[in-house]
């Protein structure tokens, strides 16, 4: 497999003592370059007549690659490595989020109104009219990010503590992109009934619940049950967020190759939570030929090992992923690194569309994609066309909270996808730009507006 591109998630900063002689700094940069590091910022910390102390930031492709780069510098004569900082670990020290008060408390009267005795009046008002909780507390702008740690990123069942950094990051994104106050709830249970009970018990505080990194098939029942038993929107981002952004990218990709969604054959590799949700939303958008594959091959009507979710997409065809890709128009990967070979892609149609979204290593490296691939997308930020859920979930919840929708429906997801796709102008659309940047400040508001309109059309809006 092609070497991965260095990126900031594996970046290190080396603090070096370098003699003030011609060529010494150049020897450092050459050593880094020869080991494949990508040099970023170089800061001069201190300098005298004899030596300079510099911080050099370097992106690596993996933890092991970072160690190789550092060792190559340590081997240089007269260069002293004072310290090495892992920038990602440094960023996470102490956690990434905090709670801040909206209202300053500087006087006795401030305290009397914000807390006892004045707060008692607010409690009584809510007890008499429960709907006032949305006006008088944080509930109207607060989301619980709930996980059991059973499917953390692509890393597997790591448990609740190890899932916390992801949930903190999610909370940051909610605040940054939609000004929503979200808080991580990492449950120390993987029992379906206990998870449902726990979420129902904390629901009075929150205006919505974002389920995250809960393994399939358990996640399907948890989402369905919570949505039917609570009166606030429930959204499993691994399912629905992925589906929204995938559909948005596909709609624009199909424009480029001049194909219609109802005439193409789509292969989805990976039949977990994300794969099933993507297939459902693509079908709602008009896709008629979807072949799903799991680790056992094509999800066929002849198989006896299928759960109800997989049975929804069982087809008459049988065989492996190799056979499924032959003549396919679109490949969507939500599976494992390296499972899609260049030979398999060559067997697809002309102007093939390949979304290889396994992270951090995709099903096929973009560098290996053959010439019949018209459009390539991945889940990585260092390649064009990143399929990233942050394009969806902040705006989806912003819209749902603003209109007080009790649910997030498939129609709301469909309209969210169309809104994201519409932000790429036809004149700007090209094979390396089918989806907006995650930093496009139009995205969350466009998605929120589409979600609110769909909620009102469905009769789910309460405000």
86 is in an annotated binding site: no
Question: In terms of C-beta density within 10 A (0-12 exposed, 13-18 middle, 19 or more buried), how is residue 200 classed?
Answer: middle
238 is in an annotated binding site: yes
- Identify whether the C-beta of residue 419 lies closer than 8 Å to the C-beta of residue 450: yes
* Ramachandran quadrant class, 57 (left: phi over 0; alpha: psi -120 to 50; beta: rest): beta
Catalytic residue set: 115, 170
Is residue 329 part of an annotated ligand binding site? no
End-to-end Cα spacing for the chain: 53
- With beta carbons less than 8 A apart as the criterion, state whether 36 and 6 touch: yes
Residue (of 268, 273, 342, 328) closest to 298 by Cα position: 268
Q: What are phi and psi of 146, to 5 degrees?
A: -110, 130
Q: Is 212 annotated as a binding residue?
A: yes
Long-range Cβ pairs for the range 450-453 (8 Å, 24+): 450/395, 450/399, 450/412, 450/415, 450/416, 450/418, 450/419, 451/395, 451/396, 451/398, 451/399, 451/400, 451/403, 451/405, 451/408, 451/412, 451/415, 451/416, 452/399, 452/402, 452/403, 452/405, 453/415
Supply angle C-alpha 270, 272, 274, rounded to 5: 85
Q: How many CB atoms lie within 10 A of CB 209?
A: 25
Element (H, E) at 34: helix 24-34
What 3-state class would DSSP assign to 424?
coil
Please check if 148 is assigned to a binding site: no
- CA 150, CA 147: separation in Å to the nearest integer? 8
Backbone angles phi, psi at 258, to 5 degrees: 60, 50
Known binding-site positions for (S)-malate: 359, 388
Known binding-site positions for a divalent metal cation: 212-213, 238
Known binding-site positions: 212-213, 238, 359, 388
């Amino acid at each position: 497999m092609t070497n991965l591109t260095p990126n900031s998630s594996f970046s290190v900063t080396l603090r070096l003592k370098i003699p003030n002689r011609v060529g010494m700094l150049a020897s450092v940069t050459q050593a880094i370059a020869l080991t494949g590091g990508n040099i970023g910022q170089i800061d001069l910390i201190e300098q005298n007549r004899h030596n300079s102390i510099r911080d050099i930031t370097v992106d690596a492709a993996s933890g092991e690659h970072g160690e190789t780069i550092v060792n190559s510098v340590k081997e240089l004569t007269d260069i002293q490595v004072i310290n090495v900082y892992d920038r990602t670990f440094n960023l996470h020290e102490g956690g990434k989020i905090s709670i801040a008060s909206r209202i300053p408390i500087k006087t006795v009267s401030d305290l009397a109104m914000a807390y006892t005795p004045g707060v008692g009046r607010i409690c009584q008002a809510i007890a008499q009219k429960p709907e006032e909780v949305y006006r008088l507390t944080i509930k109207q702008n607060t989301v619980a990010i709930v996980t059991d740690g059973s499917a953390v990123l692509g890393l597997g069942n790591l448990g609740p503590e190890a899932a916390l950094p992801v949930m903190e990051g999610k909370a940051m994104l909610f605040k940054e992109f939609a000004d929503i106050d979200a808080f991580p709830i990492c449950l120390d249970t993987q029992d379906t009934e206990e998870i449902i009970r726990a979420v129902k018990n904390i629901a009075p505080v929150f205006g919505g619940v974002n389920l995250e990194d809960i393994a399939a098939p358990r996640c399907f029942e948890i989402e369905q049950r919570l949505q039917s038993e609570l009166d606030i929107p429930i959204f499993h981002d691994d399912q629905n967020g992925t589906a929204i952004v995938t559909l948005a990218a596909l709609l624009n990709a199909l424009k480029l190759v001049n194909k219609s969604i109802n005439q193409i054959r789509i292969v989805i590799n990976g039949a977990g939570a994300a794969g099933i949700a993507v297939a459902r939303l693509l079908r709602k958008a008009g896709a008629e030929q979807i072949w799903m594959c799991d680790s056992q091959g094509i999800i066929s009507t002849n198989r006896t090992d299928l759960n109800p979710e997989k049975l929804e997409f069982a087809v008459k065809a049988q065989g492996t992923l190799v056979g499924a890709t032959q003549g396919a128009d679109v490949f969507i990967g939500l599976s494992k690194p390296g499972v899609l070979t260049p030979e398999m892609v060559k067997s697809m149609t002309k102007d093939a569309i390949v979304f290889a979204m396994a992270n951090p290593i995709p099903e096929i490296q973009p560098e290996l994609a053959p010439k019949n691939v018209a459009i390539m997308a991945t889940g990585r930020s260092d390649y064009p066309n990143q399929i990233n859920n942050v394009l969806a979930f902040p705006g989806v919840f912003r819209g749902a909270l603003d209109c007080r929708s009790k649910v997030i429906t498939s129609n709301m997801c469909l309209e969210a996808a169309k809104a994201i796709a519409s932000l790429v102008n036809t004149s700007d659309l090209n094979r390396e730009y089918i989806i907006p940047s995650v930093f496009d400040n139009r995205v969350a508001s466009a998605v929120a507006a589409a979600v609110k309109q769909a909620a009102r059309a469905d009769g789910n809006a309460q405000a």
